A and B are shown apart, each in its own frame.
Chain A
Amino acid sequence: MPEHTIKAFDEEINRLRGLVAEMGGRVETALEDAMAALVEHDNDKARRVVSEDRKIDLLEAEVEKLVVQIIALRAPMANDLRDVIAALKIVGVVERIGDYAKNIAKRVPQLGAHPTIEPLSLLPAMAQVAGEMVGDALNAFAARDAALAEAVVARDHVVDSFYNGIFRALLTYMVENPKTISECAHLLFIAKNIERIGDHATNMAEMVYYAATGDYLPERGRDTGIES
């Protein structure tokens, strides 16, 4: 894309995109660390995820400020306007994803050792897919890559079916092992959090698609097939 006649405008847009990328990187790390803390029963790592979340919130505030400034001072148009609005909406979503990662980390100390709860083994794989969707949505924004954004949306159902499988497995496990109900409840919430992260990545990808093309992706079926 050609540069703006006003160079400072390009610099501000680049700074904005840089902040979104930094925030996204932090959230991806938060999710990975939260899952690692869960699998390794590492309470220290879990605490760090919780305390690092504050930096994500600060980045969101910084992006909001910059977006307001760009709109007020530069009156962006067309693809610039779509880019700036997408950045604003994306950081809102990324901040929520950060909260889900934090919520997962917060549950780690309450779970104790649980090598026996079998369905747990599915959670890291599920989180892996959701995390990749988040990463790809952010990469799609950085590269204005509509095809990559579309591919993220197409993957949402993978996370959904993970969730449905884990949900059923945990229910069965709870019935058979009533003593593990409280731990299983935590794991259910974690699965739900990951499922929500997948949804948010999908929303983000839809915004990226609009920012890149000016068109909306065809509406997906609203019934997502989630069991609860």
Chain B
Amino acid sequence: MTEQTTPSAPPKMAARHVNVFYGDKQAIRDVSIEIDNDHVIAFIGPSGCGKSTFLRTLNRMNDTVAGARVEGDITLDGENIYDPSMDVVQLRARVGMVFQKPNPFPKSIYDNIAYGPRIHGLANSKADLDVIVESALRRAGLWDEVKDRLKDSGTALSGGQQQRLCIGRAIAVEPEVILMDEPCSALDPIATAKIEELIHELRGRYAIAIVTHNMQQAARVSQRTAFFHLGTLVEYGVTSEIFTNPREDRTKDYITGRYG
């Protein structure tokens, strides 16, 4: 850990007393947590405990879900992201998201990366765009594998390469936060290891939150772990502590394989 956050610096993102409802059903109950650049945070917990729901509140992806309602405060650099003045398209560039199933556009590898920078006006020329595409693909750990076939369709890549392409696509618009929802669950162990290595390299540059149902993965990639159960945040702490000495019985039963 190279940088020390000064006590006065606001966290990159903070959620305070967040509740999420789907119609009458409450999926998240009074969750408060902070997300920062100097550590990767993993969200773990049994299926249906609300990990994805909570992650989606962080870039307002729940706005697109019919009947979903979010209460409480969520700030990015101290600014409320649910404020009516917030530009949601801009927000989703600053807080990028990578999904469980790699979802490249049915376009070339180049265009998959170039799409975001184009619509956000990040490039003034073709040469600019080339630089952005190469740098995003490099940071996504994919450049060497695709540099000779940038015109090939993104969907022709292997699953692991597609997922790194999607991470590259998120990176290309210079995000500040990257949210990942089970990004490796459709990948084989080697492709998974490459994504984990990538997460490791991206840490520090971006604030990263990852939902995973694989506890070994949470232990490997994160420095903070949050355990959710039935919509509540049961325990949050340093990953090595959570996995060696959790304070709550519910956390302990879950991570030791005694759940249900």
Please tell me if the beta carbons of A4 and B245 are within 8 angstroms of each other in the complex: no
Min distance, Cβ A94 to any Cβ of chain B, angstroms: 24
A72 within 8 Å of B by Cβ? Answer: no
* Residues of B close to A6: CB separation below 8 A: 257
Q: Known contacts A77-B243, A78-B243, A78-B245; is A4 also within 8 Å of B257 by CB?
A: yes
- For window 102-132 of A, CB contacts with B under 8 Å fall at none
* Residues of B close to A215: CB separation below 8 A: 245
B260 within 8 Å of A by Cβ? Answer: yes
Min distance, Cβ A86 to any Cβ of chain B, angstroms: 12
Kindly supply a per-residue 1/0 record for chain B positions 196-225, scoring 1 wherever the CB is within 8 Å of any chain A CB and 0 otherwise. 000000000000000000011001000000
Please tell me if the beta carbons of A2 and B245 are within 8 angstroms of each other in the complex: no
Please tell me if the beta carbons of A77 and B255 are within 8 angstroms of each other in the complex: yes
Between B244, B245, B246, B256, the greatest number of chain A beta carbons within 10 A of the residue's beta carbon is seen for B256
Please tell me if the beta carbons of B259 and A79 are within 8 angstroms of each other in the complex: no
CB < 8 Å neighbour of A82 from B245, B251, B257, B260: B245
Please tell me if the beta carbons of B244 and A4 are within 8 angstroms of each other in the complex: no
Please tell me if the beta carbons of B258 and A214 are within 8 angstroms of each other in the complex: no
- Majority SS at the chain A contact face: loop
Min distance, Cβ B163 to any Cβ of chain A, angstroms: 24
* Residues of B close to A76: CB separation below 8 A: 256
Please tell me if the beta carbons of A78 and B259 are within 8 angstroms of each other in the complex: no
Please tell me if the beta carbons of A5 and B257 are within 8 angstroms of each other in the complex: yes
CB < 8 Å neighbour of A78 from B216, B246, B260: B246
CB < 8 Å neighbour of B258 from A4, A75, A81: A4
- For window 44-98 of A, CB contacts with B under 8 Å fall at 75-82
Please tell me if the beta carbons of A5 and B245 are within 8 angstroms of each other in the complex: no
- Majority SS at the chain B contact face: helix
* Residues of B close to A214: CB separation below 8 A: 244-245
Kindly supply a per-residue 1/0 record for chain B positions 238-260, scoring 1 wherever the CB is within 8 Å of any chain A CB and 0 otherwise. 00000111100001110111111
A1 within 8 Å of B by Cβ? Answer: yes
* Residues of B close to A4: CB separation below 8 A: 256-258
- For window 179-198 of A, CB contacts with B under 8 Å fall at none
Complex: chain B residue closest to A213, CB-CB: B245
Complex: chain B residue closest to A1, CB-CB: B258
A9 within 8 Å of B by Cβ? Answer: yes
A3 within 8 Å of B by Cβ? Answer: yes
> What separation, in Å, do the CA atoms of A39 and B244 have in the docked complex?
47
Complex: chain B residue closest to A215, CB-CB: B245
Kindly supply a per-residue 1/0 record for chain A positions 1-30, scoring 1 wherever the CB is within 8 Å of any chain B CB and 0 otherwise. 111111001000000000000000000000
Min distance, Cβ A16 to any Cβ of chain B, angstroms: 15
> What separation, in Å, do the CA atoms of A131 and B210 have in the docked complex?
51
> What separation, in Å, do the CA atoms of A82 and B216 have in the docked complex?
16
Min distance, Cβ B258 to any Cβ of chain A, angstroms: 5
Please tell me if the beta carbons of A82 and B256 are within 8 angstroms of each other in the complex: no
Min distance, Cβ A84 to any Cβ of chain B, angstroms: 11
Kindly supply a per-residue 1/0 record for chain B positions 129-165, scoring 1 wherever the CB is within 8 Å of any chain A CB and 0 otherwise. 0000000000000000000000000000000000000
Min distance, Cβ B109 to any Cβ of chain A, angstroms: 36
Please tell me if the beta carbons of A81 and B216 are within 8 angstroms of each other in the complex: no
> What separation, in Å, do the CA atoms of A79 and B245 have in the docked complex?
7
> What separation, in Å, do the CA atoms of A5 and B215 have in the docked complex?
15
> What separation, in Å, do the CA atoms of A156 and B78 have in the docked complex?
56
Please tell me if the beta carbons of B253 and A2 are within 8 angstroms of each other in the complex: yes
Kindly list 4 other residue pairs between chains A and B, CB separation below 8 angstroms, not including A78-B244, A79-B256, A82-B245.
Answer: A5-B258, A6-B257, A214-B245, A215-B245
Provide a sorted-by-A list of 7 A–B residue pairs whose CB atoms are within 8 angstroms: A1-B258, A5-B257, A5-B260, A6-B257, A78-B243, A78-B256, A215-B245
Which B residues are closer than 8 A to A by beta carbons?
Answer: 215-216, 219, 243-246, 251-253, 255-260
List the 6 closest pairs (A to B, CB-CB), nearest first.
A214-B245, A77-B255, A2-B258, A80-B256, A4-B257, A77-B256
